[in-house]
Amino acid sequence: MKKIILSVVAGLAVSFSFGQITLEHTYGDNAAPVQLFHTKLSTGYKYWTLQQDDNSDERTLKVYNLDHSLYKEINFQSYTYFKVGYVSDKLFDTDTGLEFMYYANGGDSTAIIDEDGSVIFSANQTAYRVDDYIADQASLDPVIATPNGTKMILKDNYKGYVYSLPGSLPTALVTPNQDKYNINLYPNPSSDYIKINYSLPPDVKIAQVDVYDMNGKVVKTYKVDNTFNDILIDTNALSSGSYVCRIYSKSQVLSETKFVVTK
């Protein structure tokens, strides 16, 4: 009986060792607080940290590769109370440099900062905050992907403002429920056609499928419903390159995926 019990315990010990959670890397030190986040760039997924010294206006945003080596570093000045988000390289412009959104808490100002620290956009407007009185917190996202392109939504005390952005929202920054209603497509890469399998939420009767090129231009649009669960897209008229396929319902992104056209 003792041998049986010992065998069970040993088996459990072995199974736990395979599922062990291990610390891979630590960012920051005790000199100043560090906030750690993640994003997806055109070059792949990255970590990024924001380090600040409350005794100075100098801030440092560092972007790291998945192996934790330093990718890029951005130094900028800011107010004491501020927020940073949307670290990206194909959202606020179309070059390969990094940019991010910055807005001051209580300062009612928003800026887009380039990787050299220069300001490429600024306005005496701000993004909605989580503590604003509104029931639907999802509608507070200041940057959204819509069937008419990527938009940035800001406000002041009296008005709301919608800006068109030249780039597209990276998949990692699109927050709607994409896991449950995925788009599956094949063949990928494609030379003449591509078949898209989709599923819609039970409460969605009609949705829209848009195909974007890498400049954010819509090159194909389709209306879909729950009658079928797939569509066939002719890619002969598309140039060789990468494309993004998104499915929308009432301007909400349900899912997004990429495919490649080869000639």
Structure confidence by residue, pLDDT tens digits, 118-158: 889 999 887 765 434 444 444 457 888 787 888 888 888 78
Helix (DSSP H) and strand (DSSP E) numbers for the chain: 1, 18
Closest CA to 163 of 110, 113, 119, 108: 110
Amino acid code (one letter) for 107: G
Amino acid code (one letter) for 18: F
Question: Whole-angstrom Cα distance, residue 230 to residue 258?
Answer: 16
Closest CA to 105 of 79, 141, 132: 79
Structure confidence by residue, pLDDT tens digits, 6-42: 444 444 444 444 568 899 999 877 656 677 888 888 7
Q: How many CB atoms lie within 10 A of CB 150?
A: 20
Question: Whole-angstrom Cα distance, residue 193 to residue 9?
Answer: 56
Kindly report each contact of residues 133-141 with a partner whose C-beta sits within 8 Å and lies 24 or more positions away, as own/partner.
138/175, 138/176, 141/175
Q: Is the peptide bond before 147 cis (omega within 30 degrees of 0)?
A: no
**Residue 32 pLDDT:** 61
Q: Please state which of the ranges 78-87, 171-180, 188-197, 200-209 shows the lowest mean pLDDT.
A: 171-180
User: What does pTM read for this prediction?
Assistant: 0.55
Order across the sheet with 143-146: list the strands: 143-146, 149-155, 160-164
> Domain-by-domain residue ranges, the chain?
34-173, 184-261
Q: Give strand pairing partners of 242.
A: 260
> Which run of H or of E encompasses 236?
none
Supply the DSSP symbol for 256. Answer: E
CATH code that applies to domain 184-261: 2.60.40.3080
The residue whose two tokens read 């009432």 is: 250
